[in-house]
């Protein structure tokens, strides 16, 4: 996958990690970047920075009709960055919002799957390409106080493995990014670890996509979680359990 002159689509591209990807894509020579956002005005605000290379589209990944429209309107995509995510800060058992887990699964798992189903044929027709799924350290270690977010990222990680096998014969690679804490609105409640910057995640993600890396830990936090999991899985599980019991 060559980033220079590629045509990319970034879901949730108007802020946070998605915006980090957009900025890195511009700097690395992408020919065009579709900025997908649930609110078109938010995407248009970012697209105005480089109107010759940035295109704003309205896209809620939980709405099949909007995904279908995006596939029609963006027929030249060769790089798909599934960044849109949802974290509602509700637990699985003790919660006043039992449907929160379903909403998180719709965005973080089914949204990823449906985007790949829609854009896989487009990338195949364009000679191949790459999919980058922005996942989480909560997708390799179960985090009880993250409610449905952690299970949804586990599911998206497994789907990434399955899709990688299916798409390989089509010359389409799938990279799963394991992301730790990042300085974004979604992670504003996190105060106990040093956070990475969104642009650093975008740079790490494009590096991995360009090399066809199947799974990549993008930052110090995710690397630390992976190391702790390998060194002491029972201890890490116990530590995660204490977070929800406190």
Among 31, 148, 156, 162, smallest CA distance to 83 is for: 156
- Band the pLDDT of 111: cuts 50, 70, 90: very high
193 pLDDT more than 70:
no
Q: Tens digit of pLDDT for each residue in 126-145?
A: 999 999 999 999 999 999 98
Gap between the Cα atoms of 114 and 134, Å rounded: 15
**How far from the centroid of its chain's Cα atoms is residue 60's Cα?**
14
Gap between the Cα atoms of 68 and 74, Å rounded: 10
Q: Is the dihedral of CA 17, 186, 215, 221 positive or negative?
A: positive
- Reduced to 3 states (helix: H, G, I; strand: E, B; else coil), residue 246 is coil
**What average pLDDT score do residues 158-175 get?**
98
Q: Tens digit of pLDDT for each residue in 198-246?
A: 999 999 999 999 999 999 999 999 999 999 999 999 999 999 998 887 6
Q: How many beta carbons lie within 10 A of that of residue 97, not counting itself?
A: 14
In the chain, the percentage of residues whose pLDDT exceeds 90 is 90
The CATH label, of 3.40.50.720, 3.30.70.1430, 3.40.640.10, 3.90.440.10, for the domain at 7-245 is 3.40.50.720
68 pLDDT more than 70:
yes
Question: What is the average pLDDT value for the chain, to the nearest integer?
Answer: 95
Which residues, 6 or more positions from 28, have their beta carbon under 8 angstroms from its beta carbon? 3, 4, 206
Reported pTM: 0.94
Gap between the Cα atoms of 192 and 224, Å rounded: 14
């Amino acid at each position: 996958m060559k980033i220079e002159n590629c045509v990319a689509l970034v879901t949730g591209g108007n802020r946070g990690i998605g915006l980090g990807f957009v900025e890195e894509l511009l700097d690395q020579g992408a020919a065009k970047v579709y900025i997908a956002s649930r609110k078109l005005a938010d995407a248009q605000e970012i697209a105005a920075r480089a109107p010759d290379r940035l295109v704003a589209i309205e896209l809620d990944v939980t709405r099949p009709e909007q995904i279908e429209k995006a596939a029609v309107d963006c027929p030249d995509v060769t790089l798909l960055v599934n960044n849109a995510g949802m974290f509602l800060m509700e637990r699985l058992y003790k919660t006043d919002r039992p449907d929160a887990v379903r909403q998180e699964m719709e965005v973080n798992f089914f949204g990823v799957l449906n985007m790949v189903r829609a854009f896989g044929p487009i990338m195949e027709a364009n000679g191949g390409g790459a999919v980058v799924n922005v996942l989480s350290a909560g997708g390799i270690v179960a985090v009880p106080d993250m409610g449905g977010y952690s299970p949804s990222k586990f599911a998206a990680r497994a789907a990434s493995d399955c899709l990688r096998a299916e798409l390989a014969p089509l010359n389409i690679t799938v990279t799963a990014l394991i992301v730790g804490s990042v300085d974004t609105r979604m992670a504003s409640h996190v105060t106990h670890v040093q956070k990475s910057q969104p642009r650093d995640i975008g740079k790490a993600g494009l590096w991995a996509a360009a090399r066809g890396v199947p799974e990549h830990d993008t930052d110090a936090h995710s690397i630390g979680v992976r190391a702790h999991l390998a060194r002491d899985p029972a201890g890490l599980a116990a530590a995660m359990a204490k977070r929800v019991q406190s």
